[in-house]
A and B are shown apart, each in its own frame.
Chain A
Amino acid sequence: MRFLLDAEQRAFTGSLDKMLTAADTPAVVRAWSRGVHAAGRALWSRIAEAGVFALAVPGSRGGLGPLPVELAAAFVELGRHAVPGPLVETATAAVLLAGLPEPGPAGRLVPALLSGEALATVAWTAPYALDGDTADVRLTVTGEGLRLAPGHGPVRPSLDPARRLTPLDPGGELLLTGPPPARALVYARLCTAAQALGVGEALLDRTVTYVRQRTQFGVPVGSFQAVKHRLADAKTGLEFARPLLFGAALTLDPADVAAAKVAAGEAAYATARAALQAHGAIGYTAEYDLSLWLTKARVLRAAWGDPDSCRTEVLRGAGRR
């Protein structure tokens, strides 16, 4: 019985963290938000090289997995570093496509996704797909089945400037008739929960650093109890979401994953609110890097299952037991 990451898993996330720290992700996010993708794609290749997109794909299809615990740990790091792009969607597309029979488009697309050569997006639980204008592979899931969309509609901005919302064109090649495996949705949720937790961690870290150094009334604002207590609550929320995330990665039970999604999403969002408040006006500016995480914490709450639908899943799961 183990409820902690082992040495190998810690080494993996540690090296990912190091690589992302060196990559100056804030600059990459800002370029990505302006529609300049070169740096983002270069970073993407390195993330793929580290094996991140292969973690959910079985070895028989060229992947490394399924390794859901490692996948969750990797997505915490991606969130912590605010890496832009359809990360969850590419991992999910890899799961969807790897589930299809080998000859056919999947045989060609899966290796491209795993190597980082291609980015994918998926329209499934929302009326649009994330970054459909940047993605090379666009999948739509409807009642009828799974399709390779021929193109995308007009781009709408997101509350998070690093994300773009794109409806996908109807039609295109039908890859699968009937509903795709529920497992793919479970992976999408797990990755989103992990990313949210990482976003929350980054927000708290940066806020703690800030309030230790910003002074008012002659003392650091971090010595004021009202500030401390709000950050202590943020810490508590994040630390109790973490075991849910890794517990869900172990079971991959839809109710467990939904619980992790609610807890991580809410904890990250509460942390974002606390972070903004503790920063004062500078936190409200787009030029200050905190904004990169602040806006993401809000949108990840609703991505791949909003709190309400996830709570429904939790209640359904408890009814089953």
Chain B
Amino acid sequence: MHSAADEAFRAEARAWLRAHVPAEPPPSLETEEGFAAHRAWEAELAADRWSVVDWPARYGGRDAGLVRWLLFEEEYYAAGAPGRVGQNGVSLLAPTLLAHGTEEQRARVLPPMATGEVVWAQAWSEPEAGSDLASLRSRAVRVSGGWLLSGQKTWSSRAAFADRAFGLFRCDPDAERPHLGLIYLMFGLRAPGVTVRAIARLDGRPAFAELFLDEVFVPDADVIGEPGDGWRIAMAAAGNERGLMLRSPGRFLAGADRLHRLWRARGEPESARARVADALIGARAYQLFAWAAASRLAEGGSLGPESSMNKVFWSEYDIALQETALDLLGPEGEAADTEWAERYVFALAGPLYAGTNEIQRDIVAERLLGLPKGRRG
């Protein structure tokens, strides 16, 4: 189905991965030692320019485009390669900078992101601003040459070990609507005035953190776009988070294949037959949906609210797949030190982060189906 040149690219990726993927998976990236091991893996990928294949070459990529990125991801997951510690920066901040940043910002921020030298956290949510993100209260106050940040952010993935963060702050408390008057900027997690407190997730691992900010200085050079324009810029990136860039089909093709092999190894129990078949069907559907989306983008289209549909699909799909695996494992499924268990715990959060599935269903209903807005907001 793909051109010879694309298939050659795929073969090159496969060969590289075969030679480099560690035989033993590194420790979970939600632990301190695992985080370091994953950083080293990012550097190894970057050394041969496999860490961000779709980026422009001058920032460490291969200008490979969406199609080859999808092919790379298929090979990546099929090879059983480690999870990507740089994901937040790569899938959210980088597209934002490429679209709205300055050339100076791109040249400064992107190369160390590509190598894992600087790992980024996303600082959007606050204790009082989850689904209703626009109600956030952390503020940025204008000072000479920059801004002073104060307030509290929470649920910031990997912020316990990450280096820097990007996030939304209120710069104009008098703006007419809560969506206006926000600023989007980058700040250091070890800068003076920042306190990071790790939060354990369900399995006890410090997967995310809350951030307390007390007059943290951010130079003007780290503001993305215009002050006041933060919401628009951040929302453009949120589509990336929900859509393909966060969850390429490769992950689920590999997952469905693993599940199918587990089912066979367990003697093909009838009780799970339909669910295993549905996992195979769902992975294929997601793959072909992604290819269709890639074709649309290649023809100048955009993803828009479709990424909300995408997000609901993959997050529900992932949970169903992991649950089926645990059911197949029977009593062994309780053991928490397996990759199945880790994937299950991770999948449970899918319908929550990147905007809960309730919010995504609202977007599908209102923006794809044209149903009237409810009494929300």
* A residues lining the B interface (CB < 8 Å): 1-4, 204, 208, 211-212, 219-220, 222-225, 227-229, 231-233, 235-236, 239-244, 246-247, 250, 256, 259, 262-263, 307-308, 311-312, 314-315, 318-319
Determine whether the beta carbon of B285 is less than 8 Å from that of A222: no
Complexed CA–CA distance, A211 and B374 (Å): 13
* B residues lining the A interface (CB < 8 Å): 1-3, 6, 67, 257, 260, 264, 273-274, 276-278, 280-282, 284-286, 288-289, 291-292, 294-296, 299, 306, 309, 312-313, 358, 360-362, 364-366, 368-376
Complexed CA–CA distance, A235 and B364 (Å): 8
Determine whether the beta carbon of A1 is less than 8 Å from that of B374: no
A-B CB contact pairs (8 Å), 29 listed:
A1-B67, A3-B292, A3-B294, A4-B299, A211-B371, A220-B372, A222-B371, A232-B309, A232-B361, A232-B364, A232-B365, A233-B361, A235-B309, A235-B365, A235-B369, A236-B364, A240-B282, A240-B286, A240-B313, A242-B289, A242-B292, A243-B289, A243-B292, A262-B281, A307-B274, A315-B260, A315-B276, A319-B260, A319-B264
Determine whether the beta carbon of A311 is less than 8 Å from that of B286: no
Determine whether the beta carbon of A208 is less than 8 Å from that of B312: no
Shortest Cβ distance from B275 into chain A, in angstroms?
9
Complexed CA–CA distance, A229 and B363 (Å): 10
Determine whether the beta carbon of A3 is less than 8 Å from that of B281: no
Determine whether the beta carbon of A262 is less than 8 Å from that of B288: no
Complexed CA–CA distance, A250 and B286 (Å): 16
- Closest chain A residue, CB of each to CB of B372: A223
Complexed CA–CA distance, A211 and B369 (Å): 11
Residues of A near B264 (CB, < 8 A) are: 319
Residues of A near B274 (CB, < 8 A) are: 307-308, 311
Complexed CA–CA distance, A60 and B227 (Å): 68
Residues of B near A315 (CB, < 8 A) are: 260, 273, 276-277, 280
Complexed CA–CA distance, A227 and B373 (Å): 12
Complexed CA–CA distance, A204 and B358 (Å): 19
CB within 8 Å for A236 and B372 given contacts A1-B2, A229-B358, A244-B285: no
Shortest Cβ distance from B325 into chain A, in angstroms?
16
Complexed CA–CA distance, A223 and B376 (Å): 10
- Closest chain A residue, CB of each to CB of B275: A311
Complexed CA–CA distance, A228 and B264 (Å): 39
Determine whether the beta carbon of B373 is less than 8 Å from that of A223: yes
Determine whether the beta carbon of B371 is less than 8 Å from that of A231: yes
Determine whether the beta carbon of A243 is less than 8 Å from that of B361: no
Determine whether the beta carbon of B369 is less than 8 Å from that of A314: no
- Closest chain A residue, CB of each to CB of B257: A318
Residues of A near B286 (CB, < 8 A) are: 240
Shortest Cβ distance from B243 into chain A, in angstroms?
13
Determine whether the beta carbon of A243 is less than 8 Å from that of B273: no
Max chain A C-beta neighbours (<10 A), residue from B257, B277, B306, B370? B277
- Closest chain A residue, CB of each to CB of B373: A223
Residues of A near B6 (CB, < 8 A) are: 1
Shortest Cβ distance from A255 into chain B, in angstroms?
9
Determine whether the beta carbon of A228 is less than 8 Å from that of B371: yes
Complexed CA–CA distance, A233 and B361 (Å): 7
Shortest Cβ distance from B241 into chain A, in angstroms?
18
Shortest Cβ distance from A271 into chain B, in angstroms?
12
Shortest Cβ distance from A63 into chain B, in angstroms?
25
Residues of A near B291 (CB, < 8 A) are: 1, 3, 243
Complexed CA–CA distance, A264 and B46 (Å): 42
- Closest chain B residue, CB of each to CB of A313: B277
Complexed CA–CA distance, A59 and B76 (Å): 43
Residues of B near A208 (CB, < 8 A) are: 369-371
Residues of A near B375 (CB, < 8 A) are: 223
Determine whether the beta carbon of A228 is less than 8 Å from that of B365: yes
Shortest Cβ distance from B367 into chain A, in angstroms?
10
Residues of B near A2 (CB, < 8 A) are: 295
Determine whether the beta carbon of A314 is less than 8 Å from that of B366: no
CB within 8 Å for A228 and B361 given contacts A212-B372, A222-B371, A262-B281: yes
Shortest Cβ distance from A95 into chain B, in angstroms?
24
Complexed CA–CA distance, A220 and B2 (Å): 47
Complexed CA–CA distance, A204 and B296 (Å): 23
Those 3 A-B pairs whose CB atoms lie nearest each other, nearest first? A243-B288, A228-B365, A311-B277
- Closest chain A residue, CB of each to CB of B256: A318
Determine whether the beta carbon of A318 is less than 8 Å from that of B362: no
Complexed CA–CA distance, A312 and B296 (Å): 33
- Closest chain A residue, CB of each to CB of B264: A319
Determine whether the beta carbon of B278 is less than 8 Å from that of A311: yes
Determine whether the beta carbon of B362 is less than 8 Å from that of A228: yes
Shortest Cβ distance from A256 into chain B, in angstroms?
7
Complexed CA–CA distance, A241 and B309 (Å): 13
Residues of A near B364 (CB, < 8 A) are: 232, 235-236
Determine whether the beta carbon of B372 is less than 8 Å from that of A222: yes
Determine whether the beta carbon of A1 is less than 8 Å from that of B295: yes
Shortest Cβ distance from A258 into chain B, in angstroms?
9
- Closest chain A residue, CB of each to CB of B289: A243
Complexed CA–CA distance, A219 and B375 (Å): 10
Determine whether the beta carbon of B295 is less than 8 Å from that of A259: no
Complexed CA–CA distance, A228 and B306 (Å): 16
Complexed CA–CA distance, A144 and B6 (Å): 47
CB within 8 Å for A1 and B365 given contacts A212-B371, A232-B312, A259-B284: no
